[in-house]
Structure formats: C-alpha cells, structure tokens
Amino acid sequence: MHSNHLLLEEPIRMASILEPSKANFFPAMTKIVGTLGPRSRSVEVISACLQAGMSVARFDFSWGNAEYHQETLENLKIAIKSSKKLCAVMLDTVGPELQVVNKSEKAITLKADDNVILTPDQGQEASSEILPINFAGLAKAVKKGDTIFIGQYLFTGSETTSVWLEVNEVKGDDVVCAIKNSATLAGSLFTLHASQIRIELPTLSDKDKEVIGSWGVQNKIDFLSLSYTRHAEDVRQARDYLSKLGDLSQTQIFAKIENVEGLTHFDEILQEADGIILSRGNLGIDLPPEKVFLFQKSAVYKCNMAGKPAVVTRVVDSMTDNLRPTRAEATDVANAVLDGCDAILLGAETLRGLYPVETISTVGKICAEAEKVFNQDQYFKRTVKFVGEPMTHLESIASSAVRAALKVKASVIICFTSSGRAARLIAKYRPTMPVLSVVIPRLKTNQLRWSFSGAFEARQSLIVRGLFPLLADPRHPAESTNASNESVLKVALDHGKAAGVIKSHDRVVVCQKVGDASVVKIIELED
Ligand SMILES: Nc1ncnc2c1ncn2[C@@H]1O[C@H](COP(=O)(O)OP(=O)(O)O)[C@@H](O)[C@H]1O
Ligand SMILES: C=C(OP(=O)(O)O)C(=O)O
Ligand SMILES: [K+]
Ligand SMILES: [Mg+2]
C-alpha cells in the first residue's frame, strides 16, 4: 500500500462543519448509478431520480425478463426527454450466480440449528427442509465446514431475510447444511453464495449472451456490468462477444469484482476492463470483514492510477426501508469519495426500497461534502509521480489543464473530445471544478451505413467523477477549424452559464486542438 492517509485537506475548522451545504446545480462530482426495478420504474419516479442526480441506470438481469426491463427503459427514455438530464444504460449480467428455485414463491421459514438440504433437483418444491438450486455442481464444489449464504436480492446478514448455513455433509448431488440463524426467505429471488468456492460456470452464461444479443443490441447499452469477473480472460471473452454485435463494439465493460478469485486477479482484470465495480455485497461475505476496507482502498487506488472508473456498491442498505442512513453508512459514503471512487452504485435501495429518490439525494449530498475536503493537492502529486516521465503528450496536456484550472481558480474546465480520451485523462487528475466534456461527433461508416459517433462517448462519461458531457451538433465537423471551435466553445460556455456553473468574469480553462497542436488556454469572461 502507498501512503494514503485520509485524503483530507487540513485543517478543517469545526465551525465550518455547521455551515449549511449550498445548493449546487451539479449535485455532486461523484456519479450515482441507480438500479431500476419495482419501486423505480414509473416515469414519475425515474424523472425524480434523474433530478436527484442519478446519471446511470442499471438493469439487473438476475431477475425480471427482457420485456419487463424494456418497459422500464421506455419510461427512462421519456423521463430523460422531459427532464433534459442525460442518463447512461448499464446491463448487469447474471453470470455464474447461484439461485434458489422457488417456483411457488411461498415464504420459507428456516430455524437455527435445523438442517436444510440444497438439491439440484428442480422438480422438488422449496420448503423448510429442502431448497432446489439452479446448479448441479455444488456437491462437488463444497466440503464439510464450508459456509453458504442465502438471501433475498442480496444480503448483509443483518436482515432476517438472509440465512447463513454451514455444510454438514455431501450426499450424492445434495448438500446437507446446518442452519446458523433463523430467517424467513420471502420474495422471488434468493441468491446463494458459497464462500471462497470456485463455481465451474462460465462468467458470461448462454442466457446472458442471449439477453445482450437481443435487449442489449436493441437498446445500444453503454455499459456491460460483468458479474463475477474472475479472470482477465472473462473480460476478453465478453469483449470478443460484444465486438460481433454492431454498435455494441463500443459498449464499455465494467468488471464486477465479487469474490476472492476476482480479487486475486485484480491487476490483469483492470488492464482488460474499461472500469471496475467493487461489488461489496458479495465480496463482503467472501472476505473476512476486517479486510473489506483494505480491498477498497487498494482497488480504488489502482483504478485511479490507471485512469479507469471505480464504482462502489452497497453503501446505504438500511435506506431500503428507512429515510435516513446509519451513521456508519453516511461515513462510508464519504470515505469512498475520499478514497477516490468515481461512482456509487445503489442496488436494493432504488430497486425495491421505499425511498429511491431520497436515497439518491442523500448519497449525492454526502458525496458533495466529501469532495469539498478531498485533498486534491496530494492526490495530484501522487498521480503525477505514479505516471512518471516521460508522460504522453495528451496526459501532459490533461494534467496541465487541471493544474492551470486550480491555479487560476477556474470555475470549469471545458474539454473538446471525440473519443472521450482527453476528458477521461483530465478527470484522472481529479479537478475540483466540473469538466464540461464537449463531445464532437465524427462521421463514421461500418461499410453498410454512415453515422455519427459521439452518443456513446458522451454517455460513457456519465460514470466518471467530475465529467459532465455535452454532445455537440453533428453539423460541427470533427476536423477542428478555428471558426467551428469558437462556435462550439460558445455553445459550451452558454450551457455552463445556463447551468449556473459559469458566471460573468469567471476564468475557464479550455483544452482543445488548434490545427495539429493540443493547447490549454485560459479565458477570462467578460459578462
Ligand atoms: N473536434 C475537436 N476540436 C478541437 N479539439 C479537439 C477535438 N477533438 C479532440 N480535441 C482535442 O484534441 C486532443 C486529443 O483529444 P482526444 O480526446 O484524444 O481526441 P480524439 O477524440 O480525437 O481521440 C485534446 O487536446 C482534445 O481537447
Ligand atoms: C451489486 C452487487 O451485486 P448484485 O448485482 O447482485 O446487486 C454486489 O455484490 O455488491
Ligand atoms: K446480476
Ligand atoms: Mg453481487
């Protein structure tokens, strides 16, 4: 581990803590991914989620069918149009997830110290004595003494809807377990997690491929959240599959690290993936509790240095049923921001929770407070040192833009980009001010038809801390001429003014190409 003390700008005046937080146009630099489901699928609720700061919508195919998710997505599109807020779409795979098959959906009561049998025989009805599961290989994978968790949607062990089992004996294909805590399994989906056990199932299942090839293609998904990524090869295979699906060759892959196997191969996975989801729900039960924070700190650090987005999950579980988070949860959100994460992913809280909108705004407010005391200076120096010399031209330009913006106290950085690369590199240096990334469409062809690039690139920046995309009018050619640059810049400045982030007499740092040269310029606005 590198010296990575609490990234706080010191000293903090105690009295400043009591200053009410100012209302911001941009809710926070840290992004919020919301999982959409039963409690968050009407146009009305989704619009409120967007207003509250959600910028990526996750569709979790562990439950619900394509038709159900399509209805939700259609509502999302309406909400985006009416609220004029951009939102990216993330498809989350099922992967090698083990599930209890409870066709009747009757509640199942399990009592501490009783036994329960896990069986691959899906013809059996789920009961207090026997639980059919969707995997035939469990008996081969586990041994006496192993731990298994079962829960609704996902489990912390703190809910009475989750149960902790210990393997007593393996009998043919069945696994006999002792029940460690009393619980009632109610609802439709119970995932099953066998601690530190290799599950011999492909990371991208046939069902996942089918969903990506149909639902994913139809909806041009921006992100694939690859559940249970365990090896770099998993990412390569997913990439290979996407590359054959037309537009989805542009879909970014976010590897979900959900178990020790993924953690062990973290460095190779990070190299292959476009971003990482620190899936603390599953990983939190695969790891001993005292190790979870260490994983978070080192994984986020590695993502930051690679300039790839880090997304942290399972922050305010208790808000699923309550209007306020626990103190520990509130502190945890702030610490994730201080650790350097790009985005917070909400699961049960928005999917089936009672307060999806309030959860988003509460998390956003905590993020914004933490960003104010983030030690940018230390972070910047550490990153420059890590990258070393010689830097690539573009990275040198990007870091210089951030430095200049801090020195002149610019209110925003405006970055022209087509691929999104320049904007991501600026975000890597974690400027304290928003970065308006002005995505300039490029005319491209796939031999069949001509189209403009830009939409994917713009939406994919919605998961990067500090980036706020703006898609320029395709009539502005990507080849930068001074005249077109100036007119696009004017559009960006007007947008910033309308959004309230740029005022008269502000300084603005602009990063663009003039002719063949990349330049960083500082402009001072008149009025
Ligand atoms: N259409 C454009 N007009 C002016 N400058 C641009 C444009 N596109 C990118 N730039 C600038 O070019 C440099 C390279 O950025 P990058 O995002 O890698 O470009 P590209 O999108 O062409 O790959 C950066 O300084 C960026 O601000
Ligand atoms: C977000 C997680 O996983 P899931 O896709 O099951 O919600 C997690 O494990 O933290
Ligand atoms: K999933
Ligand atoms: Mg998970």
Neighbours of ion ligand 4 (CB under 5 A): 258, 279, 281-282
Show which of 140, 160, 194 is a domain's final residue.
194
b/e sequence 182-199, b meaning 16+ C-beta within 10 Å:
ebbbeeebbbbbbbebeb
Answer yes or no: do 90 and 102 share one domain.
no
Minimal CA–CA distance to 88: which of 214, 223, 206?
Answer: 223
Count of H-run helices and E-run strands, the chain: 19, 24
Q: Is residue 465 within 8 Å of 31, Cβ to Cβ?
A: yes
Whether residue 221 lies inside any domain: the answer is yes
Domain span at 315: 24-96+202-371
Distance from the CA of 43 to the center of ligand 1, in angstroms?
Answer: 36
Enumerate residue ranges in the chain where pLDDT < 50: 1-4, 153, 155, 157
Domain boundary among 371, 404, 434: 371
**Residues 418 and 491 reside in one and the same domain:** yes
Q: Is 3 exposed, middle or buried (0-12, 13-18, 19+ CB in 10 A)?
A: exposed
List pLDDT tens digits, range 138-172: 999 999 999 999 986 454 545 567 898 999 999 99
Same domain for 88 and 102, yes or no, is no
Q: What is the whole-number distance in angstroms between the Cα of residue 255 and the centre of ligand 2? A: 12
Interval 78-121: pLDDT, tens: 999 999 999 999 999 999 999 999 888 888 999 999 999 999 99
Nearest CA to ligand 1 atom 1: 478
> Which atom of ligand 2 lies at the shortest distance from residue 97's CA?
6
Mark whether 250 and 343 lie in a shared domain: yes
pTM above the 0.80 mark? yes
Residue 206 and residue 167 share a domain:
no
Q: Name residues contacting ligand 2 (CB within 6 A).
A: 60, 62, 92, 154, 227, 258, 279-282, 313-314, 347
Residue 10 lies in a domain: no
155 plus 286 within the same structural domain:
no
**Whether residues 395 and 484 fall in one domain:** yes
- Same domain for 312 and 218, yes or no, is yes
> Residue 476 sits in a domain of what CATH number?
3.40.1380.20
What tokens were used for 15?
């009295």
pLDDT of residue 451: 82
Closest ligand to the CA of 154: 2
Q: What is the CATH number of the domain that holds 175?
A: 2.40.33.10
Does residue 16 sit within a domain? Answer: no
Can you give 132-154 as a three-state secondary structure string?
A: EECCCCHHHHCCCCCEEEEEECC
| 482 burial level (CB within 10 Å; 0-12, 13-18, 19+) | exposed
* Contacts (Cβ under 8 Å, ≥6 apart) of 319: 325, 329, 349, 353, 355, 358, 359, 362
Q: What is the pLDDT of residues 381-426, one digit of tens each?
A: 999 999 999 999 999 999 999 999 999 999 999 999 999 999 999 9
Q: Which of 148, 91, 99, 465 is nearest to 312 (CA)?
A: 465
In a domain, 14, yes or no: no
Domain assignment present for residue 3? The answer is no
Residue type, 442: R
Any domain includes 12:
no
71 vs 250: CA distance, rounded Å: 24
Both 45 and 133 in one domain: the answer is no
Helix spans in 225-265 (H): 232-243, 260-264
The answer to whether the complex's ipTM is over 0.85 is yes
- Domain ends where: 124, 159, 194? 194
Q: Which amino acid is at 192?
A: L
Number of domains in the chain: 3
116 and 145 in a common domain: yes
Quick check: is 1 in a domain? Answer: no
Q: Ligand 1: residues within 6 Å at CB?
A: 394, 397, 415-419, 421-422, 440, 478, 480, 485, 511-513, 518
Residue 17 confidence (pLDDT): 81
Q: Which ligand has the nearest atom to the CA of 64?
A: 3
Whether 427 and 448 map to the same domain: the answer is: yes
Q: Are 248 and 220 in contact (CB under 8 A)?
A: yes
**Residue with the nearest Cα to atom 15 of ligand 1?**
422
Residue pair 64/342 in contact by the 8 Å Cβ criterion: no
Based on the fold, state whether residues 248 and 341 are members of the same structural domain. Answer: yes
Q: Is residue 472 part of a domain?
A: yes
Q: Whose CA is closest to 397, among 287, 286, 292, 520?
A: 520
